[in-house]
Structure 1
Amino acid sequence: MINSDWYTITDVDALDTPALVIYPDRVRQNIDRLLAYVDDVSRLRPHVKTHKSPDASRLLLDAGIRKFKCATIAEAEMLAEAGASDVLLAYQPVGAKQQRLIDLIRAYPNTRFACLIDNLDTAKQLSERATAAGLTVPVYIDLNVGMNRTGILPDDQAALLYEQLATLPGIRPVGLHAYDGHLRDTDMSVRTARCDAAFAPVAQLREQLRTRGFDPIIVAGGSPTFPIHAQRPDVECSPGTFIYWDEGYGTILPEQPFEPAALVVGRVISLPTPTTLCIDIGHKSVAAEGELTQRLTFLNAPNLRATGQSEEHLTVDAGDNHPYRVGDVLYALPHHICPTVALFDRARTIEQGHLFGTWKTTARDRVLTV
């Protein structure tokens, strides 16, 4: 039933399921393909939300990448522990998170941490905390370029905010952050046109700030628009999913050369009807945000169709006279790998078809030490 292919684990009998498995050779290959997009590695600032792993981070560091982006204090701390020298918390810290950021900066003096800001009140609060701690925190203005999730429009008000931030003690404006995650057109020409249109006011804002004596860095894009922003010589790019890849982006971004490097392995645990299999991959083992039939694809059984899912169970229609038996192993490619990884505290690594080691998903925890 199982084809001998890149994903097959020869000693899978020793693997309890459901399990997240990582193929480090493919991770390295994806990193190499990432590097091929840019002429200067310093223009890469990959997001670590996909892997949340110090082991994956070290592979990126080994490739010469020094700048990173993250979404949580725990991810930022994980990066500092791994040896990253430049970390952008792509989130506006409010409330107690501001003090955690201050504590993080104190705890890891060899790492330069920055964060996002999109309003003066929050900036003043951070300014007070940083000043009291004797620190200066670099900040990027978070721009809303059409996703309508966070940030402010890249217009005169953004320029004014940048100038206001420059007058506050304890913080220092260093750049602009423009995430365009809403641009996911499969047609590359359409995606490029929309991306260029969304980026144009950001470029204009930078020029406006330059006339006022500033020289802001621009951090732009995610995975869908990475190939487009990679062509802009003065923009830092921050894709994230490239490192493990998934079915979702593999389908809508056919021009990108990345390959799946992480799977969820499961087993058939019951045959409740002549045409139904029950598999041990429930909500707690694969991201359940999408439509039921589009949460995963079984590489060695692509014709199975999901019919139901609960916390620890997935039922699928296998059709009449199917060959499956209780105990059969299935290799699932998630539709969305990022939240899937966060469901596992560790992953088994596969080298040359064998179980090899373990990578901890360290930053799935909300708090490490800070």
Structure 2
Amino acid sequence: MPHWFEITNSDEVLSPALLFYPERIKQNIGRMLSIAGSADRLRPHVKTYKCKEVVRLQMDAGINKFKCATLKEAEMVAQCGIKDVLVAYPLVGPNKKRFLQLMDRYSDTKFSVLVDHADQIAGWKSMTHTHSAIHVFIDLDAGMHRTGATPEKADLLVGLLSNPSFEFRGWHCYDGHIHQTNYSERQAAVEQQYKPLLELVNKYGLEGKEFICGSSISFPIHATYPKRTLSPGTTLLWDHGYSTKFPDLQFDVAAILMARVVTKPERDLLCIDLGYKAVASEMKEAPVFFPQIPDAEIQTHSEEHLVIKTKDAEKWKIGNVVYGIPWHICPSVAMYDQAGVVRYGKVSDYWSIVARTRYHQVNEN
């Protein structure tokens, strides 16, 4: 019996290829809504799929605000007609000019930025913008120590934003380091990390403000607090890493990599065209899981080649199609210009991964 991910027209698809399964994506959106309680509570991150069509599937479900990491992603979301977009990454240097250009070009969209340092606020204040104030969220550090201000520093930033140049929209907090497999331990970690942050947030209140919290892993915990906005992202496509570590979240893998056996170096070895330019390999875990070859052991991984060892190597012929689930889907998607869209067991069309690229010049079209 075929696996759910197998396609009947693989002879028409070059390898390696990225495949999206929209019906499974819709199921994941439904799961997000079920956890959140309503679409209004969701501000999903687009970094995983970088694709307009997946944004539109969420729009069809009533989701009307999004979060992104790059300016290219911000423009992609605005082009979909979304009216509220947060660039959840510190913008410095000429990147700020490009952001202002997006504000002008897509004037119907409310773009917001993050700040976590007084110098960032000073930099924005020094820039002239004739149309409106800069919409700002203060980024809080929940323990990652990557970006985000401590409560003490954030308290000072509120005062600096009391200026006509800015509209202070609320707080943002990402807790991507909270990865306890056990739900109770994960919940305890969230409560511990957020306790000092909540003292600050409660000091100013949330009337007219937004408190954006969590990651794909922690957002079900934050969903139990009605005043928090939730921002999952990987939940749309899911991957083998999260499926393995967090089965309690019950999202479905909705993206697969299709590859082929290109040669058989030895009796128990297969060489597959899925190098680390086709699947992300930055984690310590194996970069990809092959459901058809569950005993596969990675031997070598180079730019265009992946060599695996399996006791079933003799069953595989050169040219056979192999399907793999990435351990980490987000950077894997960014390696492809397009995703084949699988409907009724066939690749029926292709969606462009339009936001996988970046701007290189301030005035680039």
TM-score class, shorter-chain normalisation, is over 0.9
SS of 1:350 mapped into structure 2? strand
Encode CA deviations 1:250-294: one digit per residue, 9 max, x unaligned. Answer: 111111111000010000000111111100000110001013x51
Distance 1:56 1:320 in 2: 37
Distance 1:22 1:16 in 2: 15
TM-score norm. by structure 1 comes to 0.95
Q: Which runs of 5+ in 2 are unaligned?
A: none
For 1:91, the equivalent position in structure 2 comes to 89
For 1:72, the equivalent position in structure 2 comes to 70
For 2:51, the equivalent position in structure 1 comes to 53
For 1:217, the equivalent position in structure 2 comes to 210
For 1:175, the equivalent position in structure 2 comes to 170
Quote the offset at 1:172 in angstroms: 1.6
Size of the aligned set, in residue pairs, is 362
Quote the offset at 1:138 in angstroms: 0.8
- 1:189 maps onto 2:184 in alignment: yes
Letter in 2 for 1:133: T
Q: Structure 1 residues 124, 351: closer, same or farther in 2, change over 3 A? A: same
Q: Structure 1 residues 355, 134: closer, same or farther in 2, change over 3 A? A: closer
For 1:332, the equivalent position in structure 2 comes to 324
For 1:159, the equivalent position in structure 2 comes to 155
Kept in 1: contact 2:237–2:255 (CA 8 A): yes
Quote the offset at 1:319 in angstroms: 2.7
Quote the offset at 1:214 in angstroms: 6.9
Tell me which moved more, 213-222 or 9-18. 213-222
Letter in 2 for 1:136: A
Show structure 1 runs of 4+ deviating over 3 A.
Answer: 131-134, 213-216
For 1:357, the equivalent position in structure 2 comes to 349
Letter in 1 for 2:149: I
Quote the offset at 1:321 in angstroms: 6.3
Quote the offset at 1:18 in angstroms: 0.2
Kept in 2: contact 1:159–1:208 (CA 8 A): no
SS of 2:154 mapped into structure 1? helix
- 1:226 maps onto 2:222 in alignment: no
Distance 1:264 1:199 in 2: 37
Distance 1:117 1:107 in 2: 23
SS of 1:266 mapped into structure 2? strand
Encode CA deviations 1:92-148: one digit per residue, 9 max, x unaligned. Answer: 11001110110000000111100100112211211221x443421110111111001
Letter in 2 for 1:87: V
Of 196, 201, 205 in structure 1, the residue corresponding to residue 200 of structure 2 is: 205
Of 136, 144, 147 in structure 2, the residue corresponding to residue 147 of structure 1 is: 144
SS of 1:367 mapped into structure 2? coil
Quote the offset at 1:39 in angstroms: 2.3
Distance 2:272 2:345 in 1: 23
TM-score norm. by structure 2 comes to 0.96
Quote the offset at 1:164 in angstroms: 1.6
For 1:119, the equivalent position in structure 2 comes to 117
Q: Structure 1 residues 199, 321: closer, same or farther in 2, change over 3 A? A: closer
1:124-139 → structure 2 map (5 Å cutoff) = 124-129=122-127, 131-139=128-136
Of 246, 249, 266 in structure 1, the residue corresponding to residue 242 of structure 2 is: 249
